[in-house]
Amino acid sequence: MDKSKLTQLPVVFLLAMLSCFLWGSATPAIKIGYEMFGIASSDTISIILFAGIRFFLAGILVILIQSLLAGQFIKPEKGSFPSIFKLSFAQTMFQYFCFYVGLAHTSGVTGTILSGTSGFFSILIASLLFRFERLTTAKIIGCIMGLLGVVVMNVSLEGGASFHFALNGEGLVLLASISLAVSGILSKKYSKRFSVVMLSGYQFLLGGFVMIIVGLVLGGRIDLPGYLSAYVLLLYMALISAVAYSVWGILLKYNPVSRVTIFNFLTPLFGVLLSAIFLGEVDQALQLNKLLALILVCGGIYAVNRKQAS
């Protein structure tokens, strides 16, 4: 594709929507995967092993597909290993340790709404730490709306108002969102020197390999189902990462952070819808606090970036 087209709003929208749909589908896919491969929510080590297998496959797919498209094997570029390692730690090892373990202790609807907050963290980090962009009043208001969404989502009105926020559930998913935001900024920074797809493929490969080794050494195990659908699901989960992160990284390379992250609001929308359909969480998705939280998070992400999208 012509690089100039990657800055056109319709193209950015379609590609960002593809990435967000894939990310939104990850939450129900992961929870279904736990059931298919016999992984208990309390078995942290097996969860790490399961995640490692997914991302190792994702790395292989990115490298294989890009090599076929380029007509030659895509190798790590000279001097790229430090960047690959830092990106792998933020985007795969730390983020998905937090996300997988946290998701095992919360619902799909809650997890997917929380994951949508990464857009706020992206703006704050890009503005305050890396100075890529200016922190405006609209961005501050949008971030406040997102924070209110997280608070509202965890307030229960049953039996009197109460606030629920488990560190091993919602807390870890929120940490994963922060890590995702950091990885997006690092990807934009490193893409000035190295190929985005090369970075994506090898950071997945490295992160997945480390997680597999840690999982095996510490005694993790997964059941091997005797039906094809489980392995099709695992392949789909690998494709989620391979396609979504590669496309997102390319968009960040050629566009301002805000122009891309405005579309993050689609991730919780897709995630809540797919969790309701595939996890049977319709009642939870329609709870008043969940709907208000979804509106606040999506509205906040839009408010944060609306000027850049115009």
**Contacts of 92-97 spanning 24+ positions with Cβ under 8 A:** 92/55, 92/203, 92/204, 92/206, 92/207, 92/208, 92/211, 93/207, 93/210, 93/211, 94/179, 95/176, 95/179, 95/180, 95/183, 96/51, 96/55, 96/176, 96/207, 96/211, 97/48, 97/51, 97/211
- Residues 165-207: tens digit of each pLDDT: 677 778 888 888 888 888 888 888 888 888 888 998 999 999 9
User: Over pLDDT 90: what percentage of the chain?
Assistant: 18
Q: Determine the Cα–Cα distance for residues 257 and 185; give it in Å rounded to an integer.
A: 8
| Diameter over CA atoms, the chain | 63
1 three-class SS: coil
The whole-number pLDDT of residue 86 equals 92
| pLDDT surpasses 70 at 270 | yes
- Residues 214-255: tens digit of each pLDDT: 999 999 888 888 889 999 999 999 998 888 878 887 888 888
Q: Determine the Cα–Cα distance for residues 264 and 284; give it in Å rounded to an integer.
A: 22
- Residues 106-118: tens digit of each pLDDT: 777 777 777 767 7
| pLDDT interval class at 310 (50, 70, 90) | very low
- Residues 111-150: tens digit of each pLDDT: 777 776 776 777 777 777 777 667 778 778 877 887 777 6
Is the pLDDT higher at 122 or at 154? 122
The whole-number pLDDT of residue 153 equals 66
* Residue 7 in tokens: 């800055």
Q: Determine the Cα–Cα distance for residues 155 and 44; give it in Å rounded to an integer.
A: 27
- Residues 87-99: tens digit of each pLDDT: 999 888 898 888 8
* Strand-pair partners of 162: 156
Q: Tokens 């690959």: give the residue.
A: 84
Residue 24 exposure: Cα atoms within 13 Å on the Cβ side = 24
| pLDDT surpasses 60 at 307 | no
The whole-number pLDDT of residue 138 equals 77
Contact in structure between 153 and 298 (CB atoms under 8 Å) = no
Rounded to the nearest integer, the mean pLDDT of the chain is 81
Q: Could you tell me which residues come within 8 angstroms of residue 260 by beta carbon, excluding any fewer than 6 positions away?
A: 12, 16, 248, 251, 252
The whole-number pLDDT of residue 207 equals 93
Q: Determine the Cα–Cα distance for residues 43 and 206; give it in Å rounded to an integer.
A: 23
The whole-number pLDDT of residue 285 equals 66
Task: Identify the burial level of 278 via C-beta atoms within 10 angstroms of its C-beta, where 0-12 means exposed, 13-18 middle and 19 or more buried.
Answer: middle
Q: Pick the closest to residue 258 from 51, 56, 16 (CA basis).
A: 16
Mean pLDDT over 144-165 rounds to 64
| pLDDT surpasses 50 at 309 | no
* Residue 262 in tokens: 């405005």
Q: How far is CA 249 from CA 123, 158, 211, 244, in A?
A: 16, 42, 23, 8
Q: pTM for the complete prediction?
A: 0.76
The whole-number pLDDT of residue 154 equals 61
